[in-house]
Amino acid sequence: MIEELWDRQYIQEVSSILKTHPFEVKNVTGTIGINRKDPIDIKPVPNIQEVRKKYGKEIMIDHIDIMLNDDYPLDSKQQEKENEKVFNFLQDLRTHNMGHHLALEITYKNSQQRYQIFINERQGNKYHHPEDMKKALIKTQKQVEQTYRK
């Protein structure tokens, strides 16, 4: 029950961060995982922001799925701008201590394209510049173009 409360608070937190970015969001889902090795005092029940602040990044696992109403652009210059938008959102998550153990998926309208970003101790963080976001793209340019033909 507490986890459901935290998940709702988490989705609200992510949604409020998203509002500051130029995406047309259709839906956001998210869950927060807590490493249970360190017991959390739940009397009184802390909100998810208090848990994040008190227990820190080492026990928080963030999972965010974002569905967009945005079309993924076919033009390479516009794709670079999309990479920059996604990178800026990722940077914003980091400033909110949500980028240490992260699974983030951003899916464009009609599954035209998807960014799949994983950051953890094993994989590390390979996203240091907007152009690094190309590593997170799931579809090739040809696959994206085929999506538009359907």
**In this predicted model, what pLDDT tens digit does every residue of 84-117 receive, in sequence order?**
999 999 999 988 888 778 999 999 999 999 999 9
pLDDT of 143 over the 80 cut: yes
Confidence at 59, pLDDT banded by 50, 70, 90? low
Confidence at 53, pLDDT banded by 50, 70, 90? confident
Residue 51 has a pLDDT of 76
**Mean pLDDT computed over 36-56:** 71
| Predicted TM-score of the model (pTM) | 0.87
Q: Is residue 111 a contact partner of residue 66, using CB atoms and an 8 Å limit?
A: no
From first CA to last CA, the distance across the chain in angstroms is: 43
Q: Is residue 72 a contact partner of residue 46, using CB atoms and an 8 Å limit?
A: no
Contacts 24+ apart (CB under 8 A), 86-91: 86/115, 86/117, 86/133, 86/136, 87/127, 87/129, 87/130, 87/132, 87/133, 88/21, 88/130, 89/17, 89/18, 89/21, 89/23, 90/117, 90/127, 90/133
User: What tokens appear for 8 in the block?
Assistant: 């709702």
Q: Pick from 121, 120, 109: which is nearest to 148 by CA?
A: 109
